Amino acid sequence: MSPLEPFGARLRRAMDERGPLCVGIDPHASLLAEWGLDDDVAGLERFSRTVVEALAGRVAVLKPQSAFFERFGSRGLAVLEKSVQEARAAGALVVTDAKRGDIGSTMAAYAEAFLRPDAPLFSDALTVSPYLGYGSLSPAVALARESGAGLFVLALTSNPEGGEVQHAVRADGRTVGATVLAHLAAENAGEEPLGSFGAVVGATLGDLSSYDLDINGPLLAPGIGAQGATPADLSRVFGAAVRNVVPNVSRGVLRHGPDVSALRGAAERFAAEIQAAVTAA
């Protein structure tokens, strides 16, 4: 199987054509209940199928959270496989949010599970954790380059606890978060129109002017909606890098289900607000 066009190029085109919105597929128990679904595999499948049907042909990116599928065991993973495949077939780029991170052959195996083109869970990109050292991600970086996939590396996350690691200052005077961003900038050097190695940077973090977010790659930005950030915050948080931001909204859209038209309407409203904020920046 020949490799895909690089993820960064495919993402840039999708963002330009559909807008930059990323909608999470987060079937946690409380949301299943809000939809009137049971917290079982049948409810999981109904939820995921509805989100894919409503949005995969309309938004740039869908981001299933692997944990909410894994909790149902092999049957849940089968639903995840089907959701990823059907979303990609309908035209959305799929970022599987699994936050994998390990060393050596184990990291290579995680990469093969999500980034090998003939793998059942093959995704356009995968979230990964660099906190065993950025170099531990080398197997995933290499396979992503080979297959045309991408990575989103945790850098400056929206959870309050993240700061104790990510803002820690190294011996060279640079924070851990800044070091991760510098590695990603090196991965993306010279890539056009956009590199394939992105960072996860929370939209709730306020002024990040002390960080160089110009990594020539995408910035996946959780935190809009239920976590308190709004589309209007994007330019303040991301500054000149805002054009490369992929804002993620989950509950703000998903709570409008299970009605397909309501899901689409919510996604369209967020997409319009995000587009207006990015254009005005």
Residues carrying an active site annotation: 99
Do residues 202 and 195 lie in contact, with contact meaning Cβ atoms separated by under 8 Å?
no
The residue behind tokens 């495949």 is 85
Express the helix, strand and coil content of the chain in percent, nearest 5 each: 50, 15, 35
Write out 49-101 in H/E/C secondary structure.
HHHHHHHCCCCCEEEEEHHHHHCCHHHHHHHHHHHHHHHHHCCCEEEEEEEEC
Do residues 249 and 204 lie in contact, with contact meaning Cβ atoms separated by under 8 Å?
no
Do residues 199 and 152 lie in contact, with contact meaning Cβ atoms separated by under 8 Å?
yes
* 181/63 Cα distance (integer angstroms): 22
Phi, psi of 57 (to 5 degrees): -90, 5
Closest CA to 150 of 2, 1, 10: 10
Which two three-digit tokens encode residue 174? 């640079």
Do residues 48 and 37 lie in contact, with contact meaning Cβ atoms separated by under 8 Å?
no
